[in-house]
Chains A and B, each alone.
Chain A
């Protein structure tokens, strides 16, 4: 009886190991394929025998930087991402503080419906309105559109952090003559900095990855990195080698961010569903 239970346990843990191994393989396959292929020639990509063992070449990246304009989209991407995230923090953190401190539930639910509404619903009117103001193809248009997604995200993540800080701390400050704004800056923000960092990282990832806004509102002048990838899909064929190299450049910053900041990214991604 005891022995059969032991055998069962061993079989169970082996089975678990196998399942986890297969899952990890499946999870990492596209990432590995993308990065490894960016150092391969097209012929090497086609040959399964060179899937793991191959002589790497930097040729794809050389072509990418010599013959394609990738530096400008990179610059646009960085500006839009940093500006949208910065503005979202600037507006979102005080709003989150007021919502959590004064229990403004109605307000929070209005702001959170924005997370549900499909982006295309405001993209069409925005496109019409912004083209009237001749703002299509500017960084401003992209920053504003992304702000609309980042702002609710920041509030969604930061509100529970403010809520979890004990009220007594603040009340003591109020007795000492501290204003609400003062308490926010001196007490609440320092204490909930992990939450704010989490929110900022998440907003960074979202804005960096956004394709639809950039494609519609950015036009040909404010092309971000994700939009730039389309260059390699031609009518006659796909420039596979350059496409994977460019895809690596686009995806690597956020992948690295998720490796080095993985605790923050996990809490941010599961925010709202899991108590912080």
Chain B
């Protein structure tokens, strides 16, 4: 067997092995390394090697109030923003699908929040919300209202949610709108013959048929929401009083600010499990619903 024949026979491996090695090597090995590191204490020093400390990092995490707060904040942020984004995204998609004029222009506008550099837009939002320079306070001043500190304890979450909906809603909208375009007309025609009104068609036909698409959109956006980092770094930097630190932000702080690699690794494994759990559950739910239609 000559080289050429062998190459032809194994093309599929020649094509995939580089990618496979790279991806597995660069994800699998680091994950194992992180798992190993999570049982050690190490501060990136070349003189003092990592010391084995067993489960101490994990116990420290559970006891640490900061971790508990970050976990709760991650969930709060996730629940509120995904509810807002799914509701707004789906309703706007339903409205937009009825409009025939200027579709292209409107859709392009929805692309901006998705593509514009997150960290840059985060800074722009920070300036807009700023207590002295900001746009919103300049409007308040214009109307003679005293300025508001949008990043204070009382307002910071609302401000974050405004920025988050701006960033996140377009993805859900775009996915749902193409889902609507893909729905077969037959359903609607038979509904019309049966004398269903618009609200009935919406709740009995359109929304049930769209459910898998909506779940998929929720999954894709949800993963991003759990991993939000740039926006928080650019605007609140975790403050005030560390109340807007999420898990991703905290892992980062432990690793690259305090250089506590062991503890950061343990926290990272915990964070990784949460993200995986969310992704696997929503995929399972989507599959089950799709099977229901067959």
Contact = CB atoms under 8 A, between A and B. Distances in A.
Interface in B95-120: 95-96, 98-99, 104, 106-120
A24 B109 contact: yes
A173 interface: no
Contacts of B276: 116-117
A24 B15 CA distance: 45
Q: Which 10 residue pairs spanning A and B have beta carbons closest together? A: A125-B30, A94-B15, A98-B15, A247-B120, A48-B142, A180-B11, A98-B12, A95-B19, A122-B30, A48-B138
B70 interface: no
A147 interface: yes
A259 to B, nearest CB: 6
Interface stretch (A59-67, A68-76, A163-171, A205-213): A205-213
Contact of A262 (B12, B15, B107, B138): B107
B34 A124 contact: yes
7 contacts: A24-B109, A30-B166, A119-B227, A120-B252, A129-B30, A151-B19, A179-B11
Nearest to A111: B23
Given A125-B29, A151-B23, A181 B11 contact: yes
Contact of A120 (B16, B121, B248): B248
B139 interface: yes
A251 B121 CA distance: 8
Contact of B175 (A98, A147, A233, A270): A270
B22 A147 contact: yes
A92 interface: yes
Contacts of B120: 34, 226, 229, 246-247, 250-251
Contacts of B72: none
Interface in B235-288: 248, 251-252, 255-256, 261, 264-265, 268, 271-272, 275-276, 279
A211 B256 CA distance: 14
Interface of A: 16, 19-20, 23-24, 26-28, 30-31, 33-34, 37, 42, 45-49, 51, 91-92, 94-95, 97-99, 101-102, 104, 107, 110-111, 113-129, 131, 144, 147-148, 151-152, 155, 179-181, 205, 208-209, 211-212, 216, 225-226, 229, 233, 238, 240, 243-244, 246-247, 250-251, 254-255, 257-259, 262, 265-266, 269-270, 272-275
B37 interface: yes
Interface in B174-194: 174-175, 178-179, 182
Interface of chain B, main secondary structure: helix
Interface of chain A, main secondary structure: helix
Given A26-B166, A128-B44, A243-B127, A259 B108 contact: yes
A180 B196 CA distance: 54
A37 B114 CA distance: 21
B114 A255 contact: no
A250 B220 contact: no
Interface in B109-153: 109-121, 123-128, 130, 132-133, 135, 138-139, 141-142
A209 B120 CA distance: 9
A48 B140 CA distance: 9
B31 A122 contact: yes
Contacts of A266: 107, 111, 174
Contact of B115 (A92, A205, A226, A243): A205
B287 to A, nearest CB: 13
Contacts of A226: 117, 119-120
Contacts of B95: 16, 19-20
Contacts of A42: 133
A105 B248 CA distance: 30
A273 B216 contact: yes
Nearest to A92: B19
A122 B29 CA distance: 9
A128 B255 CA distance: 10
A258 B19 contact: no
B27 interface: yes
A136 to B, nearest CB: 11
A34 B88 CA distance: 24
Contact of A209 (B118, B182, B216, B233): B118
Contacts of B20: 95, 107, 110-111
Interface in B160-175: 166, 170-171, 174-175
Contacts of A27: 109-110, 112-113, 166, 170
B111 A258 contact: yes
Interface string B7-25: 1100111111011101110
A91 B8 contact: no
Which among B19, B139, B171, B233 has the highest number of chain A CB atoms within 10 Å?
B19
Given A124-B261, A179-B8, A269-B174, 14 more contacts: A19-B95, A30-B128, A34-B120, A48-B139, A91-B18, A124-B30, A124-B255, A179-B7, A209-B119, A226-B119, A247-B120, A258-B114, A266-B107, A269-B111
A116 B96 CA distance: 30
Contacts of A251: 116-117, 120-121
B209 to A, nearest CB: 14
